[in-house]
Amino acid sequence: MRLHVRTYLWYKLFNSLFFGLSVGSVFILYTPLEPSIFSLGGIALAVGMLVVAKYYEKMMNLLVFYRMTLLVEIVALVIVVSFLIFKYHYLNALFIYASYQVTFIFGGYLVRMETLLLKKTALLSFADILKQKGYLLGMVLSYIFYKTVEFFDIVDKQTQVYILHVGLFMLQIIIIVLVFQTFKRR
């Protein structure tokens, strides 16, 4: 297996775009949850990251990196689909929050592997610049989206977030395709 760097950089841009677009919606998605849930989620996240870090030695290879990247992106797709199907129910909000925590557990590992794989400082810098541009573009597009739907008299926040998730679904499909294209079998 090998990493196609150019496609990987496109993946990072679109992945950050997704995050930038979706970041504001969590305040609506998590509304049904009580604050103590976030404490428990933080504890689970910290323990999960400790467990993953303990297995770094076995995980520091391209195949595991590919599998973890794909897992994180599939979980993100499941989150979007879950929201589109089940909308604003307590259990769905809990599922979405727990699922995001699962993706965050692997965040440290994915960043470490990216550093090892890209190696060159200039390439790492370029990847980080693309990530920030994607995130910034996502937040700008999110702002424009919310102002546009308000202009068309869609002022209910839940409806706005639901419509946004239709676009996030399509974007996440593109991201998963990019993951498949990034990691090539020899």
pLDDT at res. 161: 96
Q: Give tens-digit pLDDT for 93-108.
A: 999 999 999 999 999 9
Tokens describing residue 70:
């794909």
Please determine, for residue 186, whether its predicted confidence score (pLDDT) is greater than 90. no
Which domains, and CATH codes, for the chain? 2-184 (1.20.1250)
**CA separation for the pair 118, 130 (Å, rounded):** 14
Cut 0.85: pTM above it: yes
**CA separation for the pair 1, 21 (Å, rounded):** 32
Please determine, for residue 61, whether its predicted confidence score (pLDDT) is greater than 90. yes
Q: Give tens-digit pLDDT for 119-176.
A: 899 999 999 999 999 999 999 999 999 999 999 999 999 999 999 999 999 999 999 9
pLDDT grade, residue 6 (50/70/90)? Answer: very high
**CA separation for the pair 42, 77 (Å, rounded):** 22
- Please give the mean pLDDT across all residues of the chain: 95
Please determine, for residue 26, whether its predicted confidence score (pLDDT) is greater than 80. yes
pLDDT at res. 27: 85
**CA separation for the pair 116, 110 (Å, rounded):** 10
Tokens describing residue 20:
């930038």
Q: What is the mean pLDDT of residues 65-72?
A: 97
pLDDT grade, residue 25 (50/70/90)? Answer: very high
Residue 125 CA to its chain's centroid (Å)? 20
**CA separation for the pair 3, 99 (Å, rounded):** 27
